[in-house]
Amino acid sequence: MDTPENYYAILGVPRDATSDTLKHAYRQLARRYHPDVAGIEGATEMKRINRAYAVLGDPEKRRSYDTVMGGVIDLRMGVNLHPRPHVFDPTEDVAFSGLNVFCTKGPFRAGPMLHSSFGVVSTLCSVATVQGMTIAAGSLDGKGAIWSLADDVIGTPVVFETDPTTTVESLRELRFSEAGSLLAGWGRLGFHVWDGYTGKRLWQYSLLERAVSAYYSLDTVLRVEETGQRIVRLALPLLGIDVRSPRAWGVRGTDVVTHAMDAPPQSLSDPVVCSEVDIDNRSFWAIRLRALSRDAQSLVTLSCAHVSDEEQEMAILRRWNLAARSRLGKIRTQITSSVLVGRCADSTPPYAITPDASLLAFVHAGQKLRLCDTLTGTYNELLSGAMGSSSRLALSPDGQLVAVAREDSEVNEGVIDLWSIRSGQLLQKLYHPWQVSALHFHEKQLAVGLTDGTIQIWK
Protein backbone atom coordinates (compact mmCIF):
# COMPACT_ATOMS: atom_id res chain seq x y z
CA MET A 1 0.00 0.00 0.00
CA ASP A 2 1.33 3.45 -0.87
CA THR A 3 2.28 5.59 2.12
CA PRO A 4 0.43 8.96 2.25
CA GLU A 5 2.45 12.10 1.77
CA ASN A 6 3.93 13.54 4.95
CA TYR A 7 2.59 17.10 4.87
CA TYR A 8 4.53 18.01 8.01
CA ALA A 9 7.79 16.96 6.38
CA ILE A 10 6.94 18.88 3.20
CA LEU A 11 6.53 22.08 5.23
CA GLY A 12 9.47 21.17 7.50
CA VAL A 13 7.57 21.52 10.77
CA PRO A 14 6.90 19.21 13.74
CA ARG A 15 3.50 17.56 14.20
CA ASP A 16 2.66 19.89 17.09
CA ALA A 17 3.42 23.03 15.05
CA THR A 18 1.21 26.00 15.86
CA SER A 19 -0.81 27.90 13.28
CA ASP A 20 1.73 30.73 13.30
CA THR A 21 4.59 28.26 12.76
CA LEU A 22 2.77 26.74 9.79
CA LYS A 23 2.16 30.16 8.26
CA HIS A 24 5.78 31.19 8.72
CA ALA A 25 7.07 27.95 7.19
CA TYR A 26 4.71 28.21 4.25
CA ARG A 27 5.68 31.81 3.54
CA GLN A 28 9.37 30.94 3.51
CA LEU A 29 8.93 27.89 1.29
CA ALA A 30 6.62 29.75 -1.08
CA ARG A 31 9.20 32.46 -1.60
CA ARG A 32 11.92 29.88 -2.12
CA TYR A 33 10.07 27.62 -4.56
CA HIS A 34 8.02 30.20 -6.41
CA PRO A 35 8.17 29.22 -10.13
CA ASP A 36 9.46 32.63 -11.17
CA VAL A 37 12.38 32.12 -8.76
CA ALA A 38 13.06 28.38 -8.93
CA GLY A 39 11.84 27.52 -12.43
CA ILE A 40 9.95 24.38 -13.46
CA GLU A 41 11.30 22.21 -10.63
CA GLY A 42 10.22 24.88 -8.18
CA ALA A 43 6.74 24.95 -9.68
CA THR A 44 6.31 21.21 -9.13
CA GLU A 45 7.49 21.49 -5.54
CA MET A 46 5.23 24.50 -5.02
CA LYS A 47 2.21 22.34 -5.85
CA ARG A 48 3.13 19.92 -3.04
CA ILE A 49 3.69 22.80 -0.63
CA ASN A 50 0.33 24.36 -1.50
CA ARG A 51 -1.51 21.08 -0.97
CA ALA A 52 0.25 20.47 2.34
CA TYR A 53 -0.65 23.89 3.70
CA ALA A 54 -4.20 23.67 2.35
CA VAL A 55 -4.70 20.71 4.71
CA LEU A 56 -2.56 21.64 7.72
CA GLY A 57 -3.60 25.28 7.63
CA ASP A 58 -7.26 24.33 8.10
CA PRO A 59 -7.94 23.02 11.65
CA GLU A 60 -10.74 20.67 10.59
CA LYS A 61 -8.82 19.24 7.63
CA ARG A 62 -5.74 18.90 9.82
CA ARG A 63 -7.63 16.85 12.44
CA SER A 64 -8.97 14.55 9.72
CA TYR A 65 -5.51 14.19 8.21
CA ASP A 66 -3.93 13.35 11.58
CA THR A 67 -6.64 10.76 12.23
CA VAL A 68 -6.13 9.08 8.86
CA MET A 69 -2.35 9.14 9.12
CA GLY A 70 -2.35 7.65 12.62
CA GLY A 71 1.16 6.59 13.44
CA VAL A 72 2.43 6.49 9.86
CA ILE A 73 4.45 9.69 10.15
CA ASP A 74 6.15 8.67 13.40
CA LEU A 75 7.27 5.39 11.81
CA ARG A 76 9.07 7.12 8.97
CA MET A 77 12.80 7.19 9.48
CA GLY A 78 15.28 9.76 8.36
CA VAL A 79 12.80 12.60 7.89
CA ASN A 80 14.28 16.02 8.49
CA LEU A 81 11.64 18.00 10.37
CA HIS A 82 13.55 21.27 10.29
CA PRO A 83 13.47 23.68 7.36
CA ARG A 84 16.79 24.31 5.69
CA PRO A 85 18.13 27.82 6.22
CA HIS A 86 17.54 30.19 3.35
CA VAL A 87 18.28 33.86 2.88
CA PHE A 88 15.38 35.66 1.20
CA ASP A 89 15.48 38.66 -1.04
CA PRO A 90 12.77 41.13 0.12
CA THR A 91 12.49 42.45 -3.44
CA GLU A 92 11.28 39.11 -4.84
CA ASP A 93 8.33 39.78 -7.10
CA VAL A 94 5.74 37.77 -5.19
CA ALA A 95 2.54 38.83 -3.43
CA PHE A 96 0.74 36.62 -0.91
CA SER A 97 -2.83 36.43 0.34
CA GLY A 98 -4.15 33.79 2.68
CA LEU A 99 -0.85 31.96 1.98
CA ASN A 100 -2.64 29.36 -0.18
CA VAL A 101 -2.98 31.81 -3.07
CA PHE A 102 -0.29 34.07 -4.46
CA CYS A 103 0.63 36.00 -7.59
CA THR A 104 3.38 37.82 -9.38
CA LYS A 105 3.35 41.61 -9.49
CA GLY A 106 0.55 42.96 -11.66
CA PRO A 107 -2.87 44.64 -11.73
CA PHE A 108 -4.70 42.06 -9.60
CA ARG A 109 -4.56 41.25 -5.91
CA ALA A 110 -6.35 38.48 -4.06
CA GLY A 111 -9.76 39.37 -2.67
CA PRO A 112 -12.32 37.33 -0.73
CA MET A 113 -12.66 33.56 -1.05
CA LEU A 114 -16.04 31.81 -1.19
CA HIS A 115 -16.56 28.25 -0.01
CA SER A 116 -19.20 26.01 -1.58
CA SER A 117 -20.45 22.67 -0.28
CA PHE A 118 -21.15 21.00 -3.62
CA GLY A 119 -17.68 20.05 -4.85
CA VAL A 120 -16.21 21.00 -8.21
CA VAL A 121 -17.28 24.45 -9.43
CA SER A 122 -18.28 23.94 -13.07
CA THR A 123 -19.43 27.46 -14.00
CA LEU A 124 -19.60 31.02 -12.65
CA CYS A 125 -21.52 34.20 -13.43
CA SER A 126 -22.09 37.53 -11.70
CA VAL A 127 -24.02 40.78 -11.78
CA ALA A 128 -23.32 44.23 -10.33
CA THR A 129 -25.46 45.47 -7.43
CA VAL A 130 -25.71 48.79 -5.60
CA GLN A 131 -23.69 47.34 -2.71
CA GLY A 132 -21.16 45.38 -4.77
CA MET A 133 -21.85 42.22 -6.71
CA THR A 134 -23.83 38.99 -6.72
CA ILE A 135 -22.06 35.83 -7.87
CA ALA A 136 -23.53 32.43 -8.73
CA ALA A 137 -21.72 29.11 -9.03
CA GLY A 138 -22.95 25.84 -10.51
CA SER A 139 -21.72 22.29 -10.00
CA LEU A 140 -21.43 19.01 -11.85
CA ASP A 141 -24.39 17.53 -9.93
CA GLY A 142 -26.87 20.22 -10.93
CA LYS A 143 -26.71 22.25 -7.73
CA GLY A 144 -25.47 25.76 -7.12
CA ALA A 145 -25.31 28.74 -4.79
CA ILE A 146 -25.68 32.52 -4.99
CA TRP A 147 -23.67 34.92 -2.80
CA SER A 148 -23.84 38.66 -2.33
CA LEU A 149 -20.59 40.58 -1.79
CA ALA A 150 -20.41 44.10 -0.36
CA ASP A 151 -17.01 45.58 0.55
CA ASP A 152 -15.59 42.04 0.60
CA VAL A 153 -18.21 40.97 3.15
CA ILE A 154 -19.79 37.69 2.01
CA GLY A 155 -23.51 37.17 2.53
CA THR A 156 -25.28 33.92 3.38
CA PRO A 157 -25.48 31.74 0.24
CA VAL A 158 -28.81 31.01 -1.44
CA VAL A 159 -29.00 27.46 -2.83
CA PHE A 160 -30.61 26.44 -6.14
CA GLU A 161 -30.77 23.20 -8.12
CA THR A 162 -32.13 21.59 -11.26
CA ASP A 163 -35.27 19.46 -11.09
CA PRO A 164 -34.30 16.51 -8.84
CA THR A 165 -37.02 14.29 -10.37
CA THR A 166 -35.32 14.30 -13.79
CA THR A 167 -31.93 13.07 -14.94
CA VAL A 168 -29.17 14.64 -12.85
CA GLU A 169 -27.23 16.96 -15.12
CA SER A 170 -24.22 19.18 -14.60
CA LEU A 171 -24.66 22.93 -14.83
CA ARG A 172 -22.19 24.04 -17.49
CA GLU A 173 -23.32 27.65 -18.00
CA LEU A 174 -25.10 30.30 -15.91
CA ARG A 175 -26.50 33.70 -16.83
CA PHE A 176 -28.05 36.52 -14.76
CA SER A 177 -30.59 39.08 -15.92
CA GLU A 178 -29.34 42.68 -15.90
CA ALA A 179 -30.35 43.39 -12.28
CA GLY A 180 -29.93 39.82 -11.04
CA SER A 181 -33.59 39.00 -10.37
CA LEU A 182 -33.44 36.02 -12.75
CA LEU A 183 -30.78 33.33 -13.15
CA ALA A 184 -30.61 30.81 -16.00
CA GLY A 185 -28.53 27.65 -16.13
CA TRP A 186 -28.14 24.74 -18.53
CA GLY A 187 -26.19 21.76 -19.76
CA ARG A 188 -27.04 19.51 -22.71
CA LEU A 189 -30.37 18.10 -21.56
CA GLY A 190 -32.31 20.94 -19.99
CA PHE A 191 -32.58 24.70 -19.54
CA HIS A 192 -33.64 26.17 -16.18
CA VAL A 193 -34.57 29.59 -14.78
CA TRP A 194 -34.53 30.46 -11.06
CA ASP A 195 -35.43 33.47 -8.96
CA GLY A 196 -32.07 35.21 -8.51
CA TYR A 197 -32.92 36.25 -4.95
CA THR A 198 -34.51 33.13 -3.48
CA GLY A 199 -33.18 30.31 -5.68
CA LYS A 200 -36.72 29.10 -6.43
CA ARG A 201 -36.99 27.26 -9.75
CA LEU A 202 -39.39 29.16 -12.02
CA TRP A 203 -39.18 27.45 -15.42
CA GLN A 204 -37.52 24.57 -17.18
CA TYR A 205 -37.35 23.58 -20.83
CA SER A 206 -36.24 20.23 -22.22
CA LEU A 207 -33.50 20.38 -24.84
CA LEU A 208 -33.78 16.76 -25.92
CA GLU A 209 -35.64 17.41 -29.17
CA ARG A 210 -33.15 20.15 -30.06
CA ALA A 211 -30.21 17.72 -30.26
CA VAL A 212 -27.87 20.07 -28.37
CA SER A 213 -24.30 18.89 -28.95
CA ALA A 214 -22.65 20.93 -26.17
CA TYR A 215 -23.61 23.63 -23.68
CA TYR A 216 -21.99 26.31 -25.86
CA SER A 217 -24.26 25.45 -28.80
CA LEU A 218 -27.05 27.52 -27.22
CA ASP A 219 -27.26 30.84 -25.40
CA THR A 220 -29.74 33.05 -23.57
CA VAL A 221 -30.51 36.61 -22.52
CA LEU A 222 -32.83 37.29 -19.57
CA ARG A 223 -34.71 40.58 -19.44
CA VAL A 224 -37.21 42.32 -17.20
CA GLU A 225 -39.25 44.86 -19.17
CA GLU A 226 -40.37 48.25 -17.80
CA THR A 227 -43.83 46.73 -17.41
CA GLY A 228 -42.35 44.10 -15.09
CA GLN A 229 -42.78 41.29 -17.61
CA ARG A 230 -39.93 38.77 -17.40
CA ILE A 231 -38.61 37.54 -20.76
CA VAL A 232 -36.28 34.68 -21.69
CA ARG A 233 -34.62 34.97 -25.12
CA LEU A 234 -33.02 31.77 -26.42
CA ALA A 235 -30.75 30.91 -29.35
CA LEU A 236 -31.28 27.18 -30.00
CA PRO A 237 -30.47 24.63 -32.69
CA LEU A 238 -33.02 24.93 -35.49
CA LEU A 239 -36.00 22.63 -35.00
CA GLY A 240 -37.09 21.49 -38.43
CA ILE A 241 -40.40 20.15 -39.65
CA ASP A 242 -39.09 16.58 -39.59
CA VAL A 243 -38.59 16.06 -35.84
CA ARG A 244 -37.33 12.53 -36.47
CA SER A 245 -33.99 13.94 -37.63
CA PRO A 246 -33.47 17.06 -35.49
CA ARG A 247 -29.70 17.06 -35.80
CA ALA A 248 -29.79 17.30 -39.60
CA TRP A 249 -31.65 20.59 -39.19
CA GLY A 250 -30.17 21.84 -35.93
CA VAL A 251 -26.56 21.96 -37.08
CA ARG A 252 -27.45 24.13 -40.09
CA GLY A 253 -29.47 26.89 -38.49
CA THR A 254 -30.62 28.67 -35.35
CA ASP A 255 -34.03 29.36 -33.85
CA VAL A 256 -34.14 32.56 -31.77
CA VAL A 257 -37.25 32.24 -29.61
CA THR A 258 -38.81 34.06 -26.66
CA HIS A 259 -40.61 32.77 -23.59
CA ALA A 260 -42.63 35.04 -21.31
CA MET A 261 -42.39 33.84 -17.71
CA ASP A 262 -46.10 34.50 -17.12
CA ALA A 263 -47.08 32.30 -20.11
CA PRO A 264 -47.70 28.51 -20.04
CA PRO A 265 -44.45 26.52 -19.54
CA GLN A 266 -44.31 25.14 -23.09
CA SER A 267 -45.20 28.44 -24.76
CA LEU A 268 -42.55 29.84 -27.11
CA SER A 269 -42.80 32.63 -29.65
CA ASP A 270 -42.55 32.00 -33.37
CA PRO A 271 -38.84 31.60 -34.11
CA VAL A 272 -36.60 34.12 -35.79
CA VAL A 273 -34.62 31.79 -38.05
CA CYS A 274 -30.95 32.17 -38.99
CA SER A 275 -30.14 29.58 -41.67
CA GLU A 276 -26.43 29.21 -42.36
CA VAL A 277 -27.08 27.25 -45.56
CA ASP A 278 -30.07 25.96 -47.46
CA ILE A 279 -31.45 22.95 -45.60
CA ASP A 280 -31.55 21.03 -48.88
CA ASN A 281 -27.87 21.72 -49.48
CA ARG A 282 -26.07 18.43 -48.85
CA SER A 283 -22.63 19.92 -48.26
CA PHE A 284 -21.33 19.52 -44.72
CA TRP A 285 -22.17 22.27 -42.20
CA ALA A 286 -22.24 22.07 -38.40
CA ILE A 287 -22.73 24.96 -35.98
CA ARG A 288 -20.52 24.57 -32.92
CA LEU A 289 -21.10 27.81 -31.00
CA ARG A 290 -24.04 30.19 -30.58
CA ALA A 291 -23.75 33.42 -28.59
CA LEU A 292 -26.25 36.23 -28.12
CA SER A 293 -25.23 39.82 -27.43
CA ARG A 294 -26.38 41.28 -24.13
CA ASP A 295 -29.07 43.36 -25.87
CA ALA A 296 -30.26 40.27 -27.83
CA GLN A 297 -29.94 42.21 -31.08
CA SER A 298 -27.02 40.17 -32.44
CA LEU A 299 -26.11 36.51 -32.75
CA VAL A 300 -22.62 35.09 -33.28
CA THR A 301 -22.13 31.58 -34.69
CA LEU A 302 -18.99 29.52 -35.19
CA SER A 303 -19.42 26.64 -37.63
CA CYS A 304 -17.45 23.87 -39.29
CA ALA A 305 -18.16 23.57 -43.00
CA HIS A 306 -16.94 22.25 -46.30
CA VAL A 307 -15.86 25.24 -48.39
CA SER A 308 -15.10 25.20 -52.09
CA ASP A 309 -11.40 25.29 -52.98
CA GLU A 310 -10.51 23.96 -49.50
CA GLU A 311 -9.58 20.31 -49.01
CA GLN A 312 -10.27 20.34 -45.28
CA GLU A 313 -13.28 21.56 -43.32
CA MET A 314 -12.98 25.20 -42.30
CA ALA A 315 -14.20 27.19 -39.30
CA ILE A 316 -16.53 30.05 -40.25
CA LEU A 317 -17.39 32.89 -37.88
CA ARG A 318 -20.54 34.91 -38.54
CA ARG A 319 -22.32 37.81 -36.87
CA TRP A 320 -26.06 38.20 -37.42
CA ASN A 321 -28.27 41.27 -37.05
CA LEU A 322 -31.46 39.93 -35.46
CA ALA A 323 -33.28 43.26 -35.70
CA ALA A 324 -32.89 43.75 -39.47
CA ARG A 325 -36.17 44.20 -41.34
CA SER A 326 -37.41 43.94 -44.88
CA ARG A 327 -38.98 46.83 -46.78
CA LEU A 328 -42.36 45.66 -45.53
CA GLY A 329 -41.20 45.87 -41.94
CA LYS A 330 -40.91 42.14 -41.29
CA ILE A 331 -37.91 40.79 -39.40
CA ARG A 332 -35.35 39.39 -41.83
CA THR A 333 -32.09 38.42 -40.16
CA GLN A 334 -28.95 39.61 -41.89
CA ILE A 335 -25.33 38.45 -41.82
CA THR A 336 -23.19 41.51 -41.08
CA SER A 337 -19.79 39.78 -41.11
CA SER A 338 -18.52 36.36 -42.17
CA VAL A 339 -14.91 35.20 -42.10
CA LEU A 340 -12.87 32.01 -42.33
CA VAL A 341 -10.90 31.74 -39.08
CA GLY A 342 -8.84 28.62 -39.76
CA ARG A 343 -9.10 24.89 -40.21
CA CYS A 344 -11.92 23.34 -38.23
CA ALA A 345 -9.60 20.75 -36.68
CA ASP A 346 -7.39 23.56 -35.35
CA SER A 347 -10.23 25.68 -33.91
CA THR A 348 -11.24 24.11 -30.61
CA PRO A 349 -12.82 24.90 -27.22
CA PRO A 350 -12.77 26.41 -24.71
CA TYR A 351 -14.55 29.48 -26.06
CA ALA A 352 -14.96 32.89 -24.46
CA ILE A 353 -16.92 35.89 -25.74
CA THR A 354 -17.55 39.42 -24.49
CA PRO A 355 -21.09 40.40 -23.36
CA ASP A 356 -21.64 42.50 -26.49
CA ALA A 357 -20.47 39.53 -28.61
CA SER A 358 -17.85 41.71 -30.31
CA LEU A 359 -14.81 39.58 -29.40
CA LEU A 360 -14.54 35.79 -29.48
CA ALA A 361 -11.56 33.78 -28.22
CA PHE A 362 -10.79 30.11 -28.77
CA VAL A 363 -7.82 27.74 -28.90
CA HIS A 364 -6.02 27.48 -32.23
CA ALA A 365 -3.71 24.59 -33.12
CA GLY A 366 -3.42 23.67 -29.45
CA GLN A 367 -0.75 26.33 -28.81
CA LYS A 368 -2.33 29.74 -29.42
CA LEU A 369 -5.38 31.84 -28.68
CA ARG A 370 -7.19 33.18 -31.71
CA LEU A 371 -9.02 36.45 -30.94
CA CYS A 372 -11.73 37.33 -33.45
CA ASP A 373 -13.38 40.73 -33.85
CA THR A 374 -16.92 39.86 -34.94
CA LEU A 375 -17.70 43.45 -35.96
CA THR A 376 -14.87 43.83 -38.46
CA GLY A 377 -14.37 40.17 -39.38
CA THR A 378 -10.67 40.24 -38.44
CA TYR A 379 -8.56 38.29 -35.95
CA ASN A 380 -5.16 38.14 -34.26
CA GLU A 381 -3.34 35.68 -32.00
CA LEU A 382 -1.64 35.29 -28.63
CA LEU A 383 1.10 32.71 -28.13
CA SER A 384 -0.46 31.28 -24.99
CA GLY A 385 1.45 27.99 -24.97
CA ALA A 386 0.08 24.44 -24.92
CA MET A 387 -3.56 24.18 -23.83
CA GLY A 388 -4.71 21.07 -21.98
CA SER A 389 -8.08 19.34 -22.24
CA SER A 390 -9.18 21.04 -18.99
CA SER A 391 -8.09 24.54 -20.00
CA ARG A 392 -10.32 27.54 -19.27
CA LEU A 393 -10.67 31.03 -20.79
CA ALA A 394 -12.34 34.29 -19.75
CA LEU A 395 -12.50 37.68 -21.48
CA SER A 396 -12.96 40.93 -19.58
CA PRO A 397 -16.22 42.70 -20.55
CA ASP A 398 -14.30 45.53 -22.25
CA GLY A 399 -12.23 43.07 -24.30
CA GLN A 400 -8.93 44.34 -22.89
CA LEU A 401 -7.85 41.28 -20.87
CA VAL A 402 -7.94 37.52 -21.30
CA ALA A 403 -7.38 35.07 -18.45
CA VAL A 404 -6.00 31.66 -19.42
CA ALA A 405 -5.83 28.55 -17.25
CA ARG A 406 -3.80 26.22 -19.47
CA GLU A 407 -3.96 23.11 -17.24
CA ASP A 408 -1.66 21.24 -19.62
CA SER A 409 0.68 19.81 -16.98
CA GLU A 410 1.27 19.56 -13.24
CA VAL A 411 3.50 22.62 -13.47
CA ASN A 412 0.64 24.74 -14.84
CA GLU A 413 -2.13 23.22 -12.72
CA GLY A 414 -3.91 25.97 -10.82
CA VAL A 415 -1.97 28.71 -12.65
CA ILE A 416 -3.72 31.52 -14.53
CA ASP A 417 -1.94 33.68 -17.10
CA LEU A 418 -3.36 37.19 -17.42
CA TRP A 419 -2.75 38.73 -20.87
CA SER A 420 -3.24 42.19 -22.32
CA ILE A 421 -5.07 41.77 -25.62
CA ARG A 422 -4.01 45.17 -26.92
CA SER A 423 -0.26 44.75 -26.30
CA GLY A 424 -0.10 40.95 -26.48
CA GLN A 425 1.95 40.93 -23.27
CA LEU A 426 1.69 38.61 -20.28
CA LEU A 427 0.78 40.89 -17.38
CA GLN A 428 0.59 38.59 -14.38
CA LYS A 429 0.46 35.02 -13.09
CA LEU A 430 -2.06 33.92 -10.45
CA TYR A 431 -1.34 30.74 -8.47
CA HIS A 432 -3.88 28.47 -6.76
CA PRO A 433 -3.45 25.23 -4.76
CA TRP A 434 -6.03 23.33 -6.83
CA GLN A 435 -6.96 22.88 -10.48
CA VAL A 436 -8.96 25.70 -12.08
CA SER A 437 -12.44 24.49 -13.11
CA ALA A 438 -14.19 27.79 -14.00
CA LEU A 439 -13.25 31.37 -14.90
CA HIS A 440 -15.39 34.50 -15.04
CA PHE A 441 -14.70 38.23 -15.30
CA HIS A 442 -16.90 40.68 -13.41
CA GLU A 443 -15.97 44.12 -14.73
CA LYS A 444 -12.35 44.44 -13.50
CA GLN A 445 -12.54 41.50 -11.12
CA LEU A 446 -11.79 37.85 -11.89
CA ALA A 447 -13.61 34.95 -10.22
CA VAL A 448 -11.79 31.61 -10.22
CA GLY A 449 -13.59 28.35 -9.44
CA LEU A 450 -11.42 25.49 -8.16
CA THR A 451 -11.91 21.74 -8.03
CA ASP A 452 -12.02 21.75 -4.22
CA GLY A 453 -15.21 23.85 -4.32
CA THR A 454 -13.68 27.21 -3.42
CA ILE A 455 -14.01 30.41 -5.44
CA GLN A 456 -11.20 32.96 -5.33
CA ILE A 457 -11.95 36.57 -6.25
CA TRP A 458 -9.11 38.64 -7.71
CA LYS A 459 -9.51 42.42 -7.68
Residue ranges per structural domain of the chain: 7-91, 104-458
Same fold, 7-91 and 104-458: no
Query: Which long-range contacts does 72-80 make (Cβ < 8 Å, 24+ apart)?
Result: 72/3, 72/4, 72/6, 73/6, 73/8, 73/9, 73/15, 74/15, 76/3, 76/6, 76/9, 79/6, 79/9, 80/9, 80/12
pLDDT value of residue 92: 39
pLDDT value of residue 20: 85
pLDDT value of residue 281: 64
- CA separation for the pair 115, 456 (Å, rounded): 9
- Each of the 459 residues of the chain gets a pLDDT tens digit; together they read 345 678 888 888 888 889 888 888 888 787 777 766 666 667 777 888 888 888 898 888 888 788 767 544 333 333 333 333 333 333 334 444 444 688 889 999 999 999 998 889 999 999 998 888 999 999 999 999 999 999 889 999 999 999 877 766 889 999 999 999 999 999 999 999 999 999 999 999 999 888 798 999 999 999 999 899 999 999 999 987 655 555 566 788 999 999 999 999 999 999 999 999 875 666 788 999 999 999 999 999 999 998 888 889 999 999 999 999 888 878 899 999 999 999 999 999 999 999 999 999 999 999 999 999 999 999 999 999 999 889 999 999 999 999 999 988 777 888 999 999 999 999 999 999 889 999 999 999 999 999 989 999 999
pLDDT value of residue 35: 66
Q: Which CATH class name applies to 104-458?
A: mainly beta
pLDDT value of residue 224: 94
- CA separation for the pair 392, 65 (Å, rounded): 31
pLDDT value of residue 246: 52
Nearest by Cα to 219 from 296, 146, 143: 296
pLDDT value of residue 41: 60
pLDDT value of residue 23: 86
pLDDT value of residue 282: 61
pLDDT value of residue 369: 97
User: The dihedral of CA 58, 60, 63, 68: what is its sign?
Assistant: negative
- CA separation for the pair 363, 346 (Å, rounded): 8
User: The dihedral of CA 37, 38, 43, 46: what is its sign?
Assistant: negative
Q: Which listed CATH number (3.90.1260.10, 3.40.228.10, 1.10.150.20, 1.10.287.110) goes with 7-91?
A: 1.10.287.110
